[in-house]
Structure 1
Amino acid sequence: MRIGEASRVSGVSARSLRYYEDEGLIIPGRCGNGYRDYCRSTIDRVRVIRSLLESGLPVRLIKDVLPHLTAEPDADPGAVCAEFLREVQRYRDRLAGRIAVLSDQQAALDAYLREARRADR
């Protein structure tokens, strides 16, 4: 299927499909006229990519794990290496740290607004 239909079927914009290709996450086939040709397995891979991106993982980590997640059915299920899991944990911990900082900032702003409202009375 061509890019428009692949976009519709996968729920991902044509621009995102091109980006995934540029990043080496997918490799669509090519028709004789140069148009991209997306097969069912590529669409399935796009859905996995989208899911991982929505979970907050950066493209750099997705590139590392994607070959293991979309491997053949007889592939070793333990192929997702411990280093990748440590990398995801570090990413999650950095995210938790940023959330904590933002929560503290929000609490400080809430306190400021409470005080400002009391002063206006």
Structure 2
Amino acid sequence: MNRHNSYEGLLMKGSIEIDVVGIKKGSNGRSCSEHEVCGNSLEINQILVCEYTIILSERTPRTLEEAVVVRTVVDGAPTCKVGYLKGDYKDLFKTMHGRLIQVTEIHEEGRFAHKCCGWLKAIVIK
């Protein structure tokens, strides 16, 4: 079974954990009139929404790439962009569009957190 199919099964059961990266970075739309860095407002158990999109690559100039933007939800509407679904989940990007996730861990320290400008772990809830 390929990775995509196994992730699909987990999504159907509602038991998949995902990583969101870049939560401590204020560039690429991750700041607003209320927050210098929107990811600084995140809390454990907070509900976020995933949006599939095409973005300009930060790694390869003048190149477009698929991504899943992760946003906070206020009064049922998506608001601040706080990060991106980690690239390891590329097979799931289109499937994750519109899905709600719940923050279970927030990481600001350590080698991986430094490499990806902060990250969080979340579970897919819908």
Q: Which bin holds the TM-score, normalised by the shorter protein? A: under 0.3
TM-score, with structure 1 as normaliser: 0.22
Q: Which has the higher strand share?
A: 2
- Greater relative contact order structure (CA < 8 Å, 6+ sep): 2
TM-score, with structure 2 as normaliser: 0.21
